[in-house]
């Protein structure tokens, strides 16, 4: 058995059982108090294993140093402690299926829930692996606690083995990645690295240097409220107008369920309110900036069109940038990507390099001047009850982390 196998399994189960779900509606940093439980645990564990300069910043990122034993660029290894707000993450009960037999995985807390290799071919390739899932009522949180376990295991190994040649390494654990607020403007300077890697990817061998560009949009609709018994000619129902906006936007194209590959989308993620006031939230995604801008323009045009049908209503559309495709910067200096590819080759792991239909903290870091591609952890089916991860994939990701560190020491 791989020497990191049991450690990774125990760390993942321990971390996933801790509620650390982010909250888009909160203005705190981190957005939820419960994230401090994970962040404080990172401080305790890093201090206990002998890391230097262990700090939890005012904006809720834990940063620490693994001293170098050889010259080379200062590296960063990152993962995020928060879990996604899209599905229940309270009361997670991780379970380990030892030596997966290739059949359908059932869930003790939801007998109707099934994880089948027929539906998820990646699972079919993991016969014999130890598979970690939740119990059926929650997500697992392997996104990104698998990454946290990988970075922590690699850090512990390096600290206990000073004979391993590596440059100075900075590890960091961020909050609120899932709501696009994981990278504080102060982080690039506080991190102090030449380049970095996030361990927040999926399939074995994945090296990502191209992500979506992303914007977040909020549409508000304010109608005219009046008693419905006397409403004729006076009431302006904000629910009706909000529904018209949704109905006017593309339905058979430009939505997540109708796009794939390099196609972008407009995704309605929330709609709430009442007859007098409605709020709609959208995420806009595309790989190219001009195409992303076009989607924002389309949303604004639809809002203006519906507003023109009812001048007594007020409709606003506010679009906020979230992150940009890291390719725009990495294509000018592929040093960290090349290093990761060489490390994969050393480990005989076939590389997967394809644009991912999402983003990472690395997207923001790269845009802010810290080149930061994303590497695999093995996590699958994230943000829902069918989330799972192979411990064997996590061991290979830990090997990759360590091999990158060793290779970096050879580049100076």
Annotated binding site: 80, 143, 178, 200, 383
First to last CA, the chain: 34
Max CA distance (Å), the chain:
82
Angle at alpha carbon of residue 115, lines to 109 and 120, rounded to 5°: 160
Active site residue 351: no
Binding-site positions for Zn(2+)? 80, 143, 178, 200, 383
- Where are any strands of DSSP class E within 6-115? 52-56, 62-66, 75-80, 95-97, 105-106, 114-115
Q: 177-200 burial string, b = 16+ CB within 10 Å, else e?
A: bbbbbbbbeebbeebebbbbbbbb
**Residue 370 and residue 191: Cα distance in Å, rounded?**
9
How many C-beta neighbours within 10 Å does residue 148 have? 29
Q: How many residues does the chain have?
A: 412
Give the count of alpha carbons within 13 A of 281, CB side only.
10
DSSP 313: S
Looking only at the bridges linking them, the beta strands covering 131-133 and 95-97 are antiparallel
Active site residue 290: no
**Residue 390 and residue 395: Cα distance in Å, rounded?**
9
The residues near 90 (Cβ < 8 Å, ≥ 6 apart) are 19, 21, 138
**Residue 197 and residue 339: Cα distance in Å, rounded?**
11
Q: Of the residues 23, 144, 176, 177, which is catalytic?
A: 177
Q: Scan for tokens 């407009």, then name that residue.
A: 266
Structure token digits, residue 50: 């002998």
Q: 300-324 burial string, b = 16+ CB within 10 Å, else e?
A: bebbeebbeebeebbbebebeebbb
- Which stretch of DSSP H or E encloses residue 280? strand 277-286
Q: Of the residues 7, 82, 210, 387, which is catalytic?
A: 82
Residue 383's region, left for phi above 0, alpha for psi from -120 to 50, else beta, is left
Q: Tell me the DSSP string of 347-376.
A: TT---B---BSS--HHHHHHHTT----EEE
Give catalytic residues, as residue numbers.
Answer: 82, 177
């Amino acid at each position: 058995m791989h020497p990191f196998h049991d450690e990774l399994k125990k760390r993942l189960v321990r971390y996933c059982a801790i509620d650390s779900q982010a909250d888009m509606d909160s203005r705190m940093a981190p957005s939820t108090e419960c994230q401090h439980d994970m962040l404080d645990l990172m401080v305790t564990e890093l201090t206990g294993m002998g890391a230097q300069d262990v700090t939890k910043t005012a904006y809720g990122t834990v940063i620490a140093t693994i001293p170098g034993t050889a010259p080379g660029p200062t590296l960063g290894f990152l993962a995020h402690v928060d879990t996604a707000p899209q599905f229940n993450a309270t009361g997670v009960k991780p379970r380990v299926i030892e030596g997966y037999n290739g059949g359908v995985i059932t869930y003790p807390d939801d007998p109707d829930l099934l994880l089948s290799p027929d539906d998820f071919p990646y699972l079919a390739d993991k016969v014999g692996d130890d598979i970690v899932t939740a119990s059926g009522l929650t997500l697992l949180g392997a996104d990104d606690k698998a990454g946290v376990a990988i970075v922590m295991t690699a850090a512990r190994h390096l600290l206990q083995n000073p004979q391993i040649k590596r440059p100075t390494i900075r590890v960091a654990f961020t909050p609120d990645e899932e709501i696009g607020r994981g990278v504080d403007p102060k982080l690039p300077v506080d991190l102090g690295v030449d380049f970095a890697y996030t361990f927040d990817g999926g399939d074995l061998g994945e090296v990502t240097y191209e992500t979506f560009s992303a914007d977040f949009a909020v549409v508000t609709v304010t109608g005219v409220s009046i008693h419905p018994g006397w409403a004729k000619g006076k009431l302006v129902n904000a629910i009706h107008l909000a529904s018209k906006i949704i109905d006017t936007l593309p339905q058979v194209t430009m939505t997540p369920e109708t796009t794939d590959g390099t196609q972008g989308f407009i995704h309605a993620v929330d709609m709430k309110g009442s007859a007098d006031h409605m709020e709609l939230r959208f995420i806009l995604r595309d790989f190219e900036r001009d195409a992303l801008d076009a989607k924002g323009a389309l949303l604004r045009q639809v809002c203006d069109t519906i507003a023109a049908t009812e001048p007594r209503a007020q409709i606003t559309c506010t679009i906020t940038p979230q992150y940009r495709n890291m390719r725009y910067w990495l294509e000018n200096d592929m040093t960290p990507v090349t290093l990761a590819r060489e490390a994969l080759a050393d480990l005989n792991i076939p590389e997967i390099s394809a644009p991912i239909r999402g983003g990472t903290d690395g997207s923001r870091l790269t845009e802010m001047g810290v080149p930061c591609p994303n590497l695999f952890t093995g996590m699958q089916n994230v943000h829902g009850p069918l989330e799972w991860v192979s411990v064997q994939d996590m061991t290979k990701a830990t090997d990759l982390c360590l091999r990158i560190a060793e290779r970096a020491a050879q580049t100076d």
